[in-house]
Amino acid sequence: MQRDETHYIERSRMERNSSRSAKTHRRSSLKSSLLTASAPATKAPAETTAAPPPVLNDPLMYLPEVEKAVRKSGTTIWRMEAVGKFPRRHKHGRNAVWFRSEIIAYLEAVRAETQAPPAPEKANQARREAAAQRRAA
- Mean pLDDT across the stretch 28-49? 54
User: Could you count the other beta carbons within 10 Å of the beta carbon of residue 6?
Assistant: 10
pLDDT at 52: 61
What pLDDT is stored for residue 107 in this prediction? 94
Instruction: Give me the torsion for CA of 83, 85, 87, 89, rounded to 10°.
Output: -30
Whether residue 113 has pLDDT greater than 70: yes
The yes-or-no verdict on residue 32 having pLDDT over 80 is: no
Q: What is the pLDDT, as a whole number, of residue 110?
A: 92
Q: What pLDDT score was predicted for residue 47?
A: 56
pLDDT at 28 over 70: no
Cα–Cα separations (whole angstroms), residue 108 to 16, 35, 52, 69, 112: 62, 46, 26, 12, 6
Output the pTM of the full model. Answer: 0.47
**Region 47-76: what's the mean pLDDT?**
83
Amino acid at 75: T
Q: How confident is the model at residue 45 (pLDDT cuts 50, 70, 90)?
A: low
Residues contacting 106, CB < 8 A, separation 6+: 70, 86, 87
Half-sphere exposure of 87 (CA within 13 A, CB side): 22
Whole-number Å distance between alpha carbons of 14 and 8:
10
Residue 92: helix, strand or coil by DSSP? strand
13-35 burial, b at 16+ Cβ within 10 Å, e below that, comes to eeeeeeeeeeeeeeeeeeeeeee
Q: Is the pLDDT of residue 137 over 70?
A: yes
Query: How sure is the predictor about 10, in pLDDT bands with cuts at 50, 70 and 90?
Result: low
* pLDDT recorded at residue 76: 96
Give phi and psi for 99, each to the nearest 5. -80, 135
β-bridge mates for residue 92, sequence order: 95
